[in-house]
Chains A and B, each alone.
Chain A
Amino acid sequence: MSAADLLALDDVHAYYGNIRALKGVSLTVGRGEIVTLIGGNGAGKTTTLRTVIGLVRALRGTVTFGGQRIDRVPTHRIARLGIAQSPEGRRIFAPMTVLENLELGAFARTDREAISQDLERVLTLFPRLRDRLAQKGGTLSGGEQQMLAMGRALMAKPDMLLLDEPSMGLSPILVETIFDIIRNINQLGTTILLVEQNARMALRVAHRGYVIQTGRIVLQDASSALLRSDLVRKAYLGEK
């Protein structure tokens, strides 16, 4: 791990339920980077994210964030250290309004003025949410819910954002929009770890990428190199 790394996983082993989901995963995310983790269903992508935020405990190996070991720290404290997650399937608070969902994202914060500035920043990133502030989260369309989940995560003003399958179930036009926004968020200074099945889009937006298969990292490189790799092209881009 170099000094520039914000997040580092070193030889992490973890179970998900009864399945040995991670069998020695090592990866780093440098400050300011977008790093993507691609792989098939059940490869261990989501478990990796859950291990980072402490919802799954690493049996072996270490997770370091900003130079501090976090693999034994409870989830709510990890969240306060500056990691926010937009989970797979969005998990927004359906009976609450869009505004309430966003405000809950800032639950751990007390700096009222900065919070309202951040709300403004999120609504600039996601103009569609501004139109729907008073609407209940559950009545949003799938794409809008994805935006809300990401906006809510940003309200914690995290140093690092974990995105789990943000493009899942979205129409082609929305997939493009979401990836544009991801790039925007990153340019505004947030480090991003992106888990995706849509390998083509993920590798286009990310600086570097890791390929995970059945709990092991099998390939890691700059995105442009991965896009040219034989394995990635055959297994994840569907080229013949």
Chain B
Amino acid sequence: MTESRLVRLFPAALLVTALLGYPFLDRWLQAQTVHAVTDAMIYVLLALGLNIVVGYAGMLDLGYAAFFAIGAYTMGLLNSPVLGSPLYGHVWSFWVVIWIAALVSAALGVVIGAPTLRVRGDYLAIITLAFGEIIPVAIRNLGDITIDIGGWRPVERLNLTGGENGVNPVGRPHLPFVNFDTDFIPWYFLILVIGAFSLWAMNRMRDSRLGRAWMAIREDETAASCTGVNLIKTKLLAFALGASFSGFAGSFYAAKLQAITPGAFEFNVSIMLLCMVVLGGMGSLKGVILGGMLITLFDRILLSQMTFLVRWIGRSLGIATLAAVDLTLWRWFFFGLGLVVVMLIRPEGLMGRRVRPPEADVDEGEETLALVAAPPRPRAETLPAWLREAAATPRRSTDGLPVLEVRGLTRNFGGLTAVSDVDLVIPAGGIVGLIGPNGAGKTTFFNLVTGLLRPDKGEIRLDGASLVGLRPHAIVGRGIARTFQSIRLFQNMSVLDNVLVGEHCRLHASVAGAVFRPPAVVAEEVRARGRAREVLDFAGLGDKAAEMAKNLAYGDQRRLEIARALATEPRLLLLDEPTAGMNPRETDTLTELIGLLRHELGLAILLIEHHMEVVMGISDRITVLDYGTRIAEGTPAEIRRDARVIEAYLGKGYEQELVSI
């Protein structure tokens, strides 16, 4: 073992020693804090589960305590069925039920997740809030059920949950030679093992295909689906996995506390968990652990100690109010105050990532030079071999068929016809320009082809197969990739991760694969990263792979968006104003890049563009839209002279403009 490795392992070894030694030190000192620390770890585990939903996938969940309740009651009802329950007398072992609890919670996670798929933000929060209220109420009312139909009583005084009294006592786990009855230390080690396992699994999930998809959804849902992420499946997985960790935590909590009542799982628990995540830093595992520990230990240990202190001061000074104070009644006041202060000083949370672009003072002569000299030109030699291979093998026989064939495409918004009966054909390897006045329906046309909108009428075929009705990620899978008019990158993800999300639809790792990493998954991930780096090298972004996407210069962001689209291995690339906001030099190199993609990969390209030099220069044919209808179609030379196009779009000054260039 080398010295540097030792140095690196030292903090970890210290941490493990501290965690293992702490309960014995506590006993030796007679501090009696193990009980509170074990509870704190339960809440940390809950907060970590919530972090998957809120921190990774970016969905605000205000009812997370419901899953905690479900985990706890699964343990209570199966391990210690109440009198009156049909399960009474059948006792299941703690070691079995803890897994069942995780499964039941995950299943309910899918149930609560399902209606929230169509809503976001405030609405999602309201639905989860309602769910969080429903569960404790349901638990209360399932304690005494009688169904009376005209004197016939099929169910009488059925008690499933123990009602308001809850389940008391809940059985304990049994292990040979371990005393779970009177000693807190075994509990401490049990939650330590569960927590370590959960943390290990979450850490691996975060750095996987699935974790990247979650973060992509958090950053930009529309862009994620247009990059090949299945929104429904990915969001449900977040809900299910987040819930399953709370299933573990809940069942452990029930067994440790030995008694559960519906009151222990109400709204304020959800809010406290959310506070832990926000205080620590959304998305940061270390942060959430810190947030959870701080809040619970502050509540359980510090507040009561402070109460003693304040009372002692009060008695010493003879102030009766202070002598009788009970600070634990003020806990919500302190939480609120602490949260406000943290949000003002560090809005990203205690351990959240604060992104500061490097403060670079560049040499001005160099800057001017870089501006006048052309940016790095795309070179055919750097085009990744795998992209060539992907482009060379068609997914279905396509003899003679156009890549894209759109017939009679129509879409109305209310009374407004945004796209009306539009035809458009792109042959293999063809570049087609789509131009027209603002509001003519060009972007709506893109949204129809990529599945973000459904056509009212008309047919869209890729290589002869219809795309109508497919969701955006499925269309990406078929081979259509796009960029956006206003750049839509995953801002708070690295440049490399942005491209890796592009590869998402070509990778296969599952949840289990992400956690256990069998050789096939490892190999796939290594290959994917290699490919992503090759694409970045080609796009001239190779040295910026680790940068946060939002810190890139504007022109680099545009190129990254194209690199991400290329990573999906498209047959057809839709570019929405790719040169908008670029200076003439950057525009030139981008035009070259588009030509290269057609030449070397045989990609078909559909291009919305207002820069006439670009669109006239590289398009084989141009389609002109105005008020949603096609007013002209032809070669650039034909379009340039078309009277209707000049009137609606180009303007009379355009001819002079061309002469002056």
Interface residues of A (CB under 8 A from B): 18-20, 40-42, 139-144, 168-174, 176, 197, 213-214, 216, 218, 231, 234-239
Contact = CB atoms under 8 A, between A and B. Distances in A.
Nearest to A140: B439
Contacts of A218: 368
Contacts of A170: 438, 610
A173 B650 CA distance: 5
B122 interface: no
A234 B438 CA distance: 29
B438 A142 contact: yes
B543 interface: no
Interface of B: 356-357, 359, 362, 364, 367-368, 371-372, 416, 435-439, 485, 553-555, 577, 580-585, 587-588, 610, 612-613, 648-651, 653-654, 657, 661
Contacts of B485: 169
A173 B651 contact: yes
Contact of A142 (B416, B439, B657): B439
Contact of A40 (B371, B416, B650, B651): B371
A223 to B, nearest CB: 15
- What 3 A-B pairs are tightest by C-beta distance, nearest first? A238-B584, A141-B439, A173-B651
A171 B649 CA distance: 6
A172 B583 contact: no
Given A168-B581, A169-B577, A235-B371, A176 B438 contact: no
Given A169-B610, A170-B438, A173-B437, A197 B649 contact: no
A43 to B, nearest CB: 9
A152 to B, nearest CB: 18
B653 A174 contact: no
Contacts of A236: 583-584
A170 B613 CA distance: 15
Given A171-B435, A172-B612, A234-B372, 15 more contacts: A40-B371, A41-B554, A41-B581, A42-B553, A42-B554, A171-B610, A172-B649, A172-B650, A172-B657, A173-B648, A173-B650, A174-B438, A176-B651, A213-B371, A235-B371
A214 B357 contact: no
Contacts of B657: 172
B645 to A, nearest CB: 10
23 contacts: A18-B359, A41-B554, A42-B554, A142-B438, A143-B437, A143-B438, A143-B439, A171-B435, A171-B436, A172-B650, A173-B649, A173-B650, A173-B654, A174-B438, A216-B364, A231-B372, A235-B371, A235-B372, A235-B585, A238-B584, A238-B588, A238-B613, A238-B661
Contacts of A171: 435-438, 610, 649
Contact of B584 (A140, A144, A231, A237): A237
Given A142-B439, A172-B651, A214 B580 contact: no
A197 B583 contact: yes
A140 to B, nearest CB: 8
Contacts of B584: 235-239
Contacts of B650: 172-173
B196 to A, nearest CB: 37
Contacts of B439: 140-144
A218 B437 CA distance: 35
Contacts of B371: 40, 213, 235
Contacts of A234: 372
B581 A197 contact: yes
Contacts of A142: 438-439
A40 B359 CA distance: 19
A237 B613 CA distance: 12
A169 B583 CA distance: 14
Given A176-B651, A238-B585, A214 B437 contact: no
Contacts of B435: 171
A168 B610 CA distance: 10
B437 A19 contact: no
A172 B658 CA distance: 12
A214 B364 contact: yes
B653 to A, nearest CB: 5
A176 B371 CA distance: 27
Given A197-B583, A213-B368, A218-B368, A169 B438 contact: yes
A139 B653 CA distance: 28
A142 B444 CA distance: 14
Contacts of B580: 168-169
Contacts of A42: 553-554
A216 B416 CA distance: 47
A237 B585 CA distance: 9
A142 B371 CA distance: 30
B583 A40 contact: yes
A171 B372 CA distance: 27
B564 to A, nearest CB: 19
A213 B362 CA distance: 12
A17 to B, nearest CB: 8
Nearest to A214: B367
Nearest to B361: A20
Contacts of B437: 141, 143, 171, 173-174
A176 B653 contact: yes
Nearest to B416: A139
A42 B438 CA distance: 25
Residue picked from B357, B362, B438, B648, most chain A C-beta under 10 Å: B438
Contacts of B649: 171-173
A18 B359 CA distance: 8
Nearest to A89: B486
A169 B657 CA distance: 18
Contacts of A216: 364
A140 B437 CA distance: 12
Contacts of A238: 583-585, 587-588, 613, 661
Contacts of A172: 610, 612, 649-651, 653-654, 657
Contacts of B372: 231, 234-235
Given A235-B371, A238-B587, A19 B357 contact: yes
Nearest to A238: B584
Nearest to B580: A169
A222 B346 CA distance: 47
A135 to B, nearest CB: 11
Contacts of A197: 581, 583
Nearest to B438: A142
B363 to A, nearest CB: 11
A141 B651 CA distance: 18
A236 B610 CA distance: 17
Contacts of B587: 238
Contacts of B416: 139
A171 B610 CA distance: 6
B583 A214 contact: no
Contacts of B362: 214
A19 B654 CA distance: 39
A197 B579 CA distance: 12
Nearest to A19: B357
Contacts of A213: 364, 367-368, 371
